[in-house]
């Protein structure tokens, strides 16, 4: 089990058994656990307009296939592949394309001189442990707002890699993008959120 796993494999086995037995609370648990990340993947692939529908269809397919779930991957990965496949089919039908360059602003070149050196000093953040920084509720709100303004592909890459700890190879399969493009998405998302925290630190 890695650091990011929310459900241990033992708990997951138990949850699957309860689902197969038709326990309604298990259905509540699985939906509240995975709806967010499934929406994130669907939005990244098919866009905002069709994501809810794609996720709903994925849930129905997953629930019907549940008794056949063999546990070769985690429940989360299995669900993400189902929603990913549904979203990819929808993309083909709708003939939609999204660009990696949606909403991207690089680190401003004004920060560097003609030789590539920084003009200004970068100072260490005071008390930069995540716990200390996040004790500030205002900053938490700012981070969440900024996250929600990121393009869907960047949000999904960040969610899958930094928050859920899913392996790069798996993310490439789920989002249907190359590893180098996932790296680009991660770089852009982290740089944007860094900039938002940096501004907050400077103003407070």
Partner 1 sequence: MYQCKDVANEVNNYIDGDLPLAKRVGLFFHLLICSCCRNYLQQIRSTISIITVSKPKEDISTDTHALAKKLHAIYKTHDH
Interface with partner 1 by CB under 8 A: which residues?
4, 19, 22, 24, 27-28, 30-32, 35-36, 39-40, 43, 52, 55-56, 59-60, 63-64, 66-67, 107, 109, 111-112, 115-118, 120-125, 128-131, 133-134, 140, 143-144, 147-148, 155, 158-159, 162-163, 183, 186-187, 190-191, 193-194, 197-198
Closer residue to partner 1 (CB): 173 or 191: 191
40: nearest Cα among 197, 152, 165, 133? 152
3-class state of residue 22 by DSSP: coil
Provide, rounded to whole angstroms, the least separation between the CB of residue 145 and partner 1.
9
> Are 58 and 38 contacting, i.e. CB atoms less than 8 angstroms apart?
yes
Closest to partner 1 by CB, 92 vs 118, is 118
Query: In the numeric block, which tokens belong to residue 124?
Result: 């260490």
Nearer to partner 1, 98 or 191 (CB): 191
Radius of gyration of the chain (CA): 20
C-alpha 169/C-alpha 174 separation (Å) is 9
């Amino acid at each position: 089990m890695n650091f990011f796993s929310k459900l241990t494999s033992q708990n997951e086995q138990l949850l699957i058994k309860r689902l197969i037995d038709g326990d309604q609370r298990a259905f509540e648990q699985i939906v509240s656990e995975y709806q967010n990340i499934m929406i994130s993947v669907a939005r990244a692939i098919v866009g905002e307009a069709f994501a809810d529908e794609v996720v709903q269809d994925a849930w129905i397919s997953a629930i019907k296939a549940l008794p056949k779930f063999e546990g070769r991957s985690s429940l989360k990965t299995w669900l993400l592949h189902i929603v990913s496949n549904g979203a990819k089919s929808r993309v083909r039908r709708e003939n939609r394309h999204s660009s990696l360059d949606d909403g991207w602003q690089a680190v401003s070149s004004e920060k560097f001189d003609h030789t590539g050196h920084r003009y200004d000093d970068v100072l260490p953040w005071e008390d930069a442990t995540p716990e200390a920084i996040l004790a500030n509720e205002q900053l938490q709100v700012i981070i969440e707002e900024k996250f929600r303004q990121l393009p869907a592909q960047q949000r999904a890459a960040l969610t899958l890699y930094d928050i859920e700890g899913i392996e790069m190879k798996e993310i490439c399969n789920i989002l249907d993008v190359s590893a180098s493009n996932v790296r680009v998405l991660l770089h852009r998302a982290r740089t944007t959120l860094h900039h938002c925290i940096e501004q907050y630190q400077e103003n407070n």
